[in-house]
Amino acid sequence: MATITLNASAYNEAIRCAKRHNLSVDDYVVSLIYKSSNAQREDSAILKSVDELSPVLKEVLSIPLQGKMNPEDVNGNEAREEYYKEKYGI
């Protein structure tokens, strides 16, 4: 077990947040540390080219998509709007 020293205002804020999440201060601080370290790992993720993927993933990715896909609509916003217009008349 190790000890961490916090100033009074930071400790009081940790108490308040821990209560809001129904956690002890210790569990709350530990969860923040783990979340922070996971976020840093996710930021450093490297995308692989299709050629570097396993054969199983290549096969899944080669399944043709249903409908038409606009290559400019990378995040799907236009497709989502079109779907809502068709379904709900929005």
Between 70 and 12, whose confidence is greater?
Answer: 12
Structural contact between residues 53 and 61, judged by C-beta atoms closer than 8 angstroms: yes
- Tell me if residue 9 falls in helix, strand or coil: helix
Asked if residue 51 has pLDDT above 70, the reply is yes
Q: Which amino acid is at 46?
A: I
Asked if residue 61 has pLDDT above 80, the reply is no
What's this model's pTM, rounded to 2 decimal places? Answer: 0.42
